Structures are given as structure tokens and as C-alpha cells.
Structure 1
Amino acid sequence: MAAIWGRAWRSMASHEGGDDGRSLQPTAGGERGSTSGTNYSTTTTHTTNMSERSLAFHPFTVLPTATVLEENADELGEEERVKKLEHIKSLVVLFCKDNNNSATERWLYELGVNWVLHLSHVSESGRSFISGQLLYLAGSWIEALFEINHYISVCFGGHLGKEKATTDDVGYEFLRFVQATLSKMLPFVDAIVAVRVSGRRGAGEPADEKLRALILVRDALSMASAQIMSSFSSSPCCEGYLSADLLARLDEAIWDTMEEANFSSCSRGTQRSPSIHKGTLSVINCINVLWANYGSVNRIIHDAFLRGEFVPENENVSHLINLTIQMARSLEEMVIRNSQSFPNQSLKFLFLINNFYFILQQLHTHCPLVFPIREHVGKIDSYIHSYIQVSWAPVSECLRNPTPCCFTRRSPLPRFESKFQQTYTVQKLWKVPAPEMRKRLRNAIVEEVIPVFTQFLKDNSNSTPRVTPQEMTKLLSGLFEG
């Protein structure tokens, strides 16, 4: 089971590396069972650009339940179960002799998370260690937590019996050993809560990645707590163990990150490309994470509502739908603000089209019945009209209302062709990522330019164009591929 988790998380981490394709990942050093420190290596992996990576980001990760853990334990052969039991007993014996240090550090090494020992140092050092590999470390940490639960299921939960596990000396010391080990793992919770979100305050982790890590760690801790309490319910050591306060602190951090996603990811700055803004991607990714964890997130928002920190606009729908619409409205305002940085009006309107259409696509999936689709579509239509007017209407205007010439009868055709070529050359590499929007914009340009061109040639049969209307239409069909 733990091996399956390991493969899944390593696969996820390989697809979600930093933008530069480099991430610092812990690698075990020395022989197995060594208590030496963790070595670190910088690995290079292939990554897509931010837009491609974020657009594909839909984290529907499902954690195994306690029942699944027990079933996996039952499936173990007797020989393997005995080996695990003897191994953990040897660690417990060592734990009782060495004042809690080497045994727990050895187990952390075997679990692949001895890097947590570095998080007890200065907080800035901890943030530096986590930077760029938050999801990788969260996955490694959760895998270790489930392996600990697996040991509980295999060695004590249902095999030695609850009474024996809580009265037998080995069972009691095992619980203390687990408690001491987890106490050295819990600083990671503090570390991810303290992670800064990238945006207006400078460098940090993407809001959606922090949000995902917090939710997954919170759910894993909740499950681990239930498993431990179930196996050792009568032990006094269990009181306050993985307490509700810890889960409440994670709930609060999740809520704070939801709020911060509305602001930190929506940083302003000079735009050079009409593509989807990184702030748009980040907020939409956060919304995807929230909807992938609907039940737990809706409960957290309800708690914020009870504290007076969240005010729903529509009491007839869920809190998450209300929050989604509020986040979308803030996002639209951010997109409009960022569009003002474009000195080129054509780029400005194409930027608005790309971002508003992307928002529409994503939110229509989550809440089609309450999201103001008609209003949003109206804005997109208006931006398309404005784009055509500032970009291509001046091209057709060369033929529709040619500049009068008092002394010559020079044809307006060369000016039209020159204006078309100039506009086409500038815009042919601009990017519109959505295929249906690319097609719609191309059709709108064709409808603006080609009929006027065709009519001019009919009215001026002696004119010889450098390109025919059909050839011009073919050129326009290649726009916006990037």
C-alpha cells in the first residue's frame, strides 16, 4: 500500500515541478538503518510551461480509508506480518534504551522522511528547504503517515487485540514510540502553514499548491487520528494525541489561503502577452482544488460563516458556490486592471477575451445554474467587437471609405493590402489557447474584411490584387496559433 502511494506521489511530483524544471528533493544517504543526516541532490526534470501545467491541474486525489488500511493488513501473509512485528519490536526496544532519539530517527529514515528533522531549525531555513518542492514533500510525508498507520493495523489493530495492545508492555511502548516519531513529523505541519503564497509580497509557493498540500495533509492527519484512537482507545497516552486543535489550525490555514488566493495570485505588472494571466491560472487552480475536496472545504467555509468571516450572497446555494462566485468576481476585476498595462489596444482586448473565456469555461463546469453566464458572455462579445474595431476595421476601411485624392485616381487597393499585411504580420503569432475561440475570432475577422474586399473587386474588375479573397481567407485561418 505504501509503495503504491509512493509511486503515485512521485509521478505527481515529476509532473508538477517548478517553472524552471529544477527541484531540490531529499535522497537517502548511507546504508539502510543509518541515522546519518539527509543528503540532497538537485534533479532536472522535463516540465511544460506554466500555462500548460496549470491548465491541466485537476487534483482529484482520494485518500485510502481506515477500512482499506485494515483490509490491506489482513491480506498480508503471516510470515510478512511476523517480520514487521519483529522489526517494530526491535525499534521499540531500542527506543526504550536510547532516550527516544536514534530509534525514532532510524524509523524516520526507513519511512523516507528523515528530512523533517531539518524543519526544527530556524523558520527561514525551513521555508528555504520547502521552497519549490511543497507537493513532493507533502506526498512523502503523507506516505510515511500511512505507513505508520499500516504498522498499527498489521501489528496491533485486530491482530493482538485492543486489550492486549493497551495493556501489554510492548503495545504501550509501541504507542509511545509512535507518538515520539510523529512528534518529530509534526513540525512539517507548522512549516506548510507558514509557507508564503507567491504574489504581491514577493517570492513564495503558488496558492493552489499550498492549498492542495494543506487539504491533503489535513485529511491524512484526520484519518491517522481516527485509526490510532480506534486501535488504542483505552490508553491514556491517546488523550490529546493528534488533537482537534491541530486539525482546527489546518482548517484555519486552509481558509486563510482561500482568501489570500484572491489577492496574492492576482499581482499586477506590465503584460507582454495576451495569453491567460498567471493570476487567472492560479485562482482557477485554487477553485479546482476546492471543488475536488467539496465536502471538507464546504465545512471549513461554514465554520468561517459562523465566525462572521464569510458572508454568502445567495443563501439558496452552498457556501462553496458562493465563495466561487466571489472569487470569480475578484478575478475578473484583476483581469481588467491588468489589461490596462497594454499599450496596444488590440493586445488589450485579446487578453480580456482569452482570460474571460477561460474563466467562463472553468466556472460553467462547477456551478452552471448560478454563475451569471449571460452577463459573462455579454462581456466577451463586447471585447470581441472592440478587438475587431481596433484591429481589423481600419483594414476594411481602406476600401469602404478610401481617402479622396484630388489630383490622381490611384486605387485604394495597395493601401488596403499594405494595411492587411501589416496587421496580419503583427498578430499572426499571437496566442488564443481555446480552439473554439480561435475559430470564432477568425470568422469574425473574415466577416469584417473579406466581403468588403470581394465587393471592391467586383466593382473594380480592372484591379489586380496581389492575393485573392480565397488566399486571404486561408491566411486568416492560421491566426492565433502562437
Structure 2
Amino acid sequence: MARVLELDSSSRTAGFSSLLAPSRGYDYKYLEKIQSLSLVSSGGSSSSSSGTARSNEYGGSMSGSESSGSHHRYYVPSSFLRAGFEVLCVRDITKQMVRDGFVLNLMGEYSRTPGGCPPVLERWFSELDVGWVLLRSSAAREKELDDEGGGGLGDLARRWMRGYAVMVHALAATSTTRVRPLKLQTVAVELASDQLQDDDLRFARFAEASVSRMLAFAAALAACNTWRCPMDKLLHLMQLHSCIPDQSGILMTSLEQEAGRLVDSEEMQSLFNKMDHVVSSTGGNLATAIWRMAKKAEAVTPVLSGYTDSWETFPRNAEIHEVTRLIVKYARLFWENQSVLENILCSYYSNDEPEDHQTQYLTTLIVQMITNLERHLEKKSESFSDSSLRYMFLLNNSYFIHDQFLATTYSLAWKAIIKNYEQYQESYMLLSWEHVLYCLHDKMPLWFPKYSSPLARFDSEFQKTCRHQKMWKVPCPKLRKTLREDIIGKVIAGLKKYLQDHPEQEKCCSDHQDIKDMVNELFEG
């Protein structure tokens, strides 16, 4: 069958309405191309993880509902299609749709069916790989797919963003090119004013029906509570919040031009206003959901409520708690979607503040979130019977926050948080090793034999402390190395000072290499 640009003489004189005839039997093949659209990072290349995410998390693992989302791809949205899809590939697909007259034919079928023909929209949405949007209520469908696994809601969100990007580009391209082919024909074609108005209205009706049904999914996603991992939901809500205004603006510009030509048409103005309202209200619903989830993460306590078992059965070891890993992932997610969150946060705070103050909202939120986490960890760690182990636990967790997030996003605002792990390290060194050096002086613990030599007491207490802490684990290699060096430096420096004051005792002193060897066996777990 001849395509739209290959018009015969009768169609040239029949006006734009002839282009709306259905193309029976034409086999459109856009679905495979749309499904092959690749995700891109902020740098424009295909990526499976975010640019700032650290590859080494000390071999830790999450349990419970958090582990279900650990495999998802956390990437920074691209500069053009913030949904993360190559814009050139989207344009190639939409150009093909225009050349084939695909959207025009759908518009024709839609306009000839009272109330809009569901099969036409099903065909349209199925070709965009979002046919499930029309199958039933979005919330019910989301829950069903989430229960089935296999990507669940995250997969739906990615497919939706991809389909929406292609949809608005195809509609906008159709709007700008649908009259132009007629002007290029050798046979002059003059369309009556009322025919042009009818054509504009047909386009606006079809565009409004398509966009409204698509955005209903995004609104349902914002209200949906079936996510297994809330952080996954927050990620995809932020992506949708970026995608909708960016992509909708392309189409709304075309519709605004249509409305400008039909200033006397109440229906055209109504269609334009309906689309403008659904776009803004959907964005508002997403922003509200994102705001609420971000504030819950900031408070930490609501987040911990989902990890009651693991949080209440607090471990009695020095390792990094899974909740710490979770909050660090939230901090990364916030930072990687900085522009989205700052816009939302600014809308909830006073607009009277200077612009440079408004850009600090996100930093303040992250600092408060980490501060709240550390307060929770400190409170829970009070149940440790061993004070040295308690500070080792706090040091491991605080250093993990610094190493996995703060070190990659350095800001003056992080200084207060960085000081915490330094204080924990100082407290650990004081409690664990200062009493070893006391053995070399007059102030001795009561349990030592009264007439034992200072060096004997020193050697006994040093070995006892090493045996006690040998199975404690410091997951971070860098921190483990630093602690060993600090312990060796502190112990050997104290021993050397004692020997300077008591040179006659040097022959009774333990070999320095033996001390180093014992310390270097610590913290492997």
C-alpha cells in the first residue's frame, strides 16, 4: 500500500482528511526498535550503575526486603532524555512513524469512532510497549507484576518512560509535518479553513486521549504502596518526575500553536487546558510522593520500621550494620538526582530565601539523615558490654559512610560528619590500648601481681588485648591498615619511651617485630 508521502492525485485534492484513512494490512515494526533503546548514563554511554557509586562495599550484603532491590541499576539521568534513553534513537523511530503515516492513520480511526476506539489506543500503546497501561487499573496491574517478580514495577517504570518519550516525540513530529507534505506536491492543494480546524481538533483529541491515559499510570505509581523496596520506588519516581515535564513540553508547544490558530474554538482551548492540567497535576503528585519519601529517609526512624527484625536483634559484633548500608544508598540516590530533589525541596520551602541558600536544601537533608542514623547507632551501641567493641562498631559504620559516600562528594557541609569517625577512632584507641601502656608506669590495674615487673605486665596485657580483639572485623582495608599502624605506633612509642628511662630493662623487652606481627593479625574477622 502506498505510504502517506506517496499520494495519488485524488488524495491530493481531498484535503487532510484523506490522510486519516486506515492503512489496512501495513505491517509496522516499531516495537522491537523501541524495546532495544538502551539506557545511558549522564556521560551518554550505556551504563549499569551510577557514576558515583563505589564498586567495593567491603563484601557486605543486604537482607530482607533491601536485598531485593540491590541489583537494580542506579544511574544519573541523561541531560536530554532524563529517563535515560538515547535521544537520537528516539528521533529515528519517530521519523519512521511520520514517514509511514502511522500516527495519522491511528488518528483517523480514532476520529471516526464515537467516544474514541479502545482498539486503536491498544494498537498505539502496544506498539509503544506499554499496552498494559490500558488493560486494567494501573495499581492492580502493578501489584500483579510486582508479585510475579522479573523486574516488577521497576521494569514497568522504565518501559513507561521509554514509551512516553517515543509517544510525545511522534505526536509532536506528526503535528509539525502533517500539512507540509501537501505543500510539496506538484498539484496545488488548498484546504478550507474549517477543514484545517477539524484536522487540528482531531489531532488535539487524539493527543489528549493518549497523554491522559499514559499519565494515569504515573499518578497511580506515585500512590502505589506495593513496592518491595521503597528506595527503588523513590528512584523511579524521580526519573518520572524528570521525564514528564521534559517530554511533555515538546508536545505542549505544538498544541499551544494549534490553540493559537483556533483562538475561538472552546473545544481546542479545553483540550489544551486538560492536557496542561494533567501534566502539571501528575508532576505535583510525583513531587509530593518524592517529598514524603525523602523526609522519611531523612528521619531514618520510619525507614528502620521496615527493618524491625534486623534492627531489634542488634548484632554484638563490630561489623557494618545493614541499615548503614541502606542509608548510604539513599544518600547516593539523593546526590545523583540532585537537580530533581533540589527543585522539589525548593518548592516546599520559602521562595523568599536567596537562591544560594535554596541550593543547600539537599545537602542539609543528607547531613540530617546521616546525623540521625549515627544517633540511632550510638543509642543502640550502648547495649555493648565491651566499650572497645562498641567504639569499633561505631568507627566501622561511620567510616563506611565517609568512605562510600562523603569521600566521593566532598563538601564543607560534610566536615561535622567526618569528625565523628575521628572521635570514634580516638575513643577506641584510648579504651583499648592506653591501659596496655599503663602497665609500664606506677598506676597499675588492681588485678596485676604486686611485685611483677612493668615489662612483664606490659607483655601480658598486650597479648591479652590482641587475643581478645583478633576476631573483631574491620571490613575496610584502608581503615584496617590505618588502625594497625596507629596501634603499632602507639605501643612501640610508649615502649621506647619506657626503655629510654629504664635502659637496664632493654634486654627483657619483647622484640618490636613480634609486636608488629601480632597487631598485623588483628581485624581480619
Given the alignment of the two structures, is residue 425 of structure 1 paired with residue 470 of structure 2, yes or no?
A: yes
> What is the CA–CA distance in structure 1 between the aligned matches of 2:402 and 2:128, rounded to whole Å?
44
Q: CA deviation at 1:61?
A: 1.4
Q: What residue in structure 2 maps to residue 180 of structure 1?
A: 209
Alignment CA distance shift 1:481-1:108 (3 Å): farther
Contact preservation (8 Å) 2:319, 2:475: yes
> What is the CA–CA distance in structure 2 between the aligned matches of 1:316 and 1:97, rounded to whole Å?
51
Alignment map for 1:304-319 (pairs within 5 Å) = 304-306=348-350, 318-319=360-361
Contact preservation (8 Å) 1:276, 1:354: yes
Contact preservation (8 Å) 1:111, 1:144: yes
Contact preservation (8 Å) 2:395, 2:421: yes
Q: Which has the larger radius of gyration?
A: 2
Segments of structure 2 that go 5 or more residues without pairing to the other structure are 1-32, 51-58, 183-190, 260-267, 306-310
Given the alignment of the two structures, is residue 156 of structure 1 paired with residue 175 of structure 2, yes or no?
A: yes
> What is the CA–CA distance in structure 1 between the aligned matches of 2:93 and 2:279, rounded to whole Å?
31
Given the alignment of the two structures, is residue 113 of structure 1 paired with residue 130 of structure 2, yes or no?
A: yes
1:125 to 143, 149, 153: 143
> What is the CA–CA distance in structure 1 between the aligned matches of 2:34 and 2:515, rounded to whole Å?
60
Q: CA deviation at 1:473?
A: 1.6
> What is the CA–CA distance in structure 1 between the aligned matches of 2:49 and 2:136, rounded to whole Å?
23
Alignment CA distance shift 1:463-1:253 (3 Å): same
2:272 to 231, 235, 238: 238
Contact preservation (8 Å) 2:81, 2:243: no
Q: CA deviation at 1:222?
A: 0.7
Given the alignment of the two structures, is residue 369 of structure 1 paired with residue 412 of structure 2, yes or no?
A: yes
Alignment CA distance shift 1:177-1:325 (3 Å): same
Tell me the SS of whatever aligns to 1:227: helix
Residue 331 of structure 1 aligns with an amino acid whose one-letter code is L
1:286 to 330, 347, 358: 330
Residue 324 of structure 2 aligns with an amino acid whose one-letter code is T
1:212 to 235, 247, 255: 235
Segments of structure 1 that go 5 or more residues without pairing to the other structure are 16-46, 198-202
Given the alignment of the two structures, is residue 60 of structure 1 paired with residue 76 of structure 2, yes or no?
A: yes
Alignment CA distance shift 1:305-1:123 (3 Å): farther
Residue 248 of structure 2 aligns with an amino acid whose one-letter code is S
1:352 to 380, 384, 394: 394
Q: CA deviation at 1:215?
A: 1.6
Given the alignment of the two structures, is residue 88 of structure 1 paired with residue 103 of structure 2, yes or no?
A: yes
Q: CA deviation digits over 1:163-211, x for unaligned, max 9? A: 99x94767654544444344443343234323449xxxxx84233x332
> What is the CA–CA distance in structure 2 between the aligned matches of 1:145 and 1:124, rounded to whole Å?
17
Matched pairs, number: 431
* Bigger mean CA offset, 238-247 vs 338-347: 338-347
Q: CA deviation at 1:226?
A: 0.9
Q: What residue in structure 2 maps to residue 379 of structure 1?
A: 420
Q: When the two structures are superposed, what TM-score results if normalisation uses the length of structure 2?
A: 0.65
Q: What residue in structure 2 maps to residue 190 of structure 1?
A: 219
Contact preservation (8 Å) 1:335, 1:352: yes
* Bigger mean CA offset, 147-156 vs 212-221: 147-156
> What is the CA–CA distance in structure 1 between the aligned matches of 2:313 and 2:128, rounded to whole Å?
46
Q: Give the alignment's Cα RMSD to 1 decimal.
A: 4.7
Contact preservation (8 Å) 1:119, 1:126: no
Alignment CA distance shift 1:265-1:344 (3 Å): farther
Q: What residue in structure 2 maps to residue 40 of structure 1?
A: none
Q: CA deviation digits over 1:237-277, x for unaligned, max 9? A: 33221331221222222211111112333454333253444
> What is the CA–CA distance in structure 2 between the aligned matches of 1:252 and 1:59, rounded to whole Å?
22
The percentage of counterpart residues that share the same residue type is 23
Q: CA deviation at 1:97?
A: 4.7
> What is the CA–CA distance in structure 2 between the aligned matches of 1:421 and 1:151, rounded to whole Å?
69
> What is the CA–CA distance in structure 1 between the aligned matches of 2:338 and 2:234, rounded to whole Å?
13
* Bigger mean CA offset, 109-118 vs 223-232: 109-118
Q: What residue in structure 2 maps to residue 325 of structure 1?
A: 367
Q: What residue in structure 1 maps to residue 308 of structure 2?
A: none
Contact preservation (8 Å) 1:301, 1:320: yes
Contact preservation (8 Å) 2:345, 2:362: yes
